[in-house]
């Protein structure tokens, strides 16, 4: 039986298992050398602009306490994906940072995102500063170009909060800030390869 394969960076449990083996198992092997293998390289593709029809009108950085995600199955979400936060060993009051995109075309935007293998949202401070959506094995999309110093400071705060939360964060899509439902909601974790 052929099993289809797809490149993905949403391999959280596998990554935890490998990290545990790198710390506890492999160092006990004779001939083990710490560090990365120079014959294995990961190349990220250049970020692509989002198609015009998929650009949100507004977005904002927010945060939720980790305990709030215990009720996620009860939220009104059209498209999304999550993993159990319990495997991250985060305190219940740990703030989990997120990005909410508001769009009058929220459902089509969320449907398009759902068709991708969402990996993580990342702030890239290199000029021009950008918010990037990383997908699949190595794809990257420009969510926003940032030029306002206060917005760049918010993005830096998002990155710092993400780091404190073991790189766990979320991406949400809503039609407007008053909406109590989500067109899309994804719990994500940035994994450093």
Q: How many CB atoms lie within 10 A of CB 123?
A: 22
3-state secondary structure the chain: CCCCCCCCCCCHHHHHHHHHHHHHCHHHCCCCCCCCCCCCCCCCCCCEECCHHHCCCEEEEEEEEHHHHHHHHHCCEEEEECCCHHHHCCCCCCEEEEEEEECCCHHHHHHHHHCCCEEEEEEECCCCEEEEEEECCCEEEEEEEECCHHHHHHHHHHHHHHHHCCCEEEEEEECCCCCCCEEEEEEEECCCC
Look at residue 12 and tell me whether its pLDDT is greater than 60. no
Question: Residue 78 above 80 pLDDT?
Answer: yes
| Mean pLDDT score, 28-43 | 66
Q: What span, in angstroms and rounded, lies between the C-alpha atoms of 178 and 15?
A: 37
Looking at residues 148-155, what average pLDDT do you find? Answer: 95
| 27 pLDDT tier (thresholds 50, 70, 90) | confident
pLDDT reading at 95 higher than 60: yes
How confident is the model at residue 136, as a pLDDT?
Answer: 78
Higher-confidence residue: 84 or 149?
A: 149
Q: Return the pLDDT at 87.
A: 76
Sign of the alpha-carbon dihedral angle for 121, 124, 130, 134: negative
Most confident of 6-10, 50-54, 88-92: 88-92
pLDDT at 188 over 80: yes
Predicted confidence at residue 22, as pLDDT, reads 75
Cβ atoms of 161 and 63 closer than 8 Å = yes
Residue 73 near residue 85, CB atoms below 8 Å = no
């Amino acid at each position: 039986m052929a099993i289809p394969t797809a490149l993905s960076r949403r391999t959280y449990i596998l990554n935890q298992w490998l990290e545990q083996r790198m710390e506890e198992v492999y160092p006990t092997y004779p001939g083990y050398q710490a560090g990365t293998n120079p014959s294995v390289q990961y190349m990220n593709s250049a970020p692509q602009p989002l198609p015009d029809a998929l650009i949100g009108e507004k977005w904002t950085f927010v945060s939720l306490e980790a305990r709030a995600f215990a009720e996620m199955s009860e939220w009104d979400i059209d498209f999304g994906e999550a993993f159990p936060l319990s495997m991250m060993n985060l305190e219940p009051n740990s703030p989990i940072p997120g990005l909410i995109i508001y769009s009058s075309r929220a459902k089509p935007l969320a449907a398009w995102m759902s068709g991708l293998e969402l990996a993580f949202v990342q702030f890239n401070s290199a000029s021009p500063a950008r918010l990037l959506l990383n997908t699949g094995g190595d794809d990257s999309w420009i969510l926003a170009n940032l030029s306002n110093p206060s917005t760049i400071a918010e993005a830096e705060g998002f990155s710092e909060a993400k780091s404190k939360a073991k790189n766990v964060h979320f991406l949400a899509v809503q039609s407007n800030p008053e909406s109590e439902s989500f067109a899309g909601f994804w719990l994500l974790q940035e994994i450093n390869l």
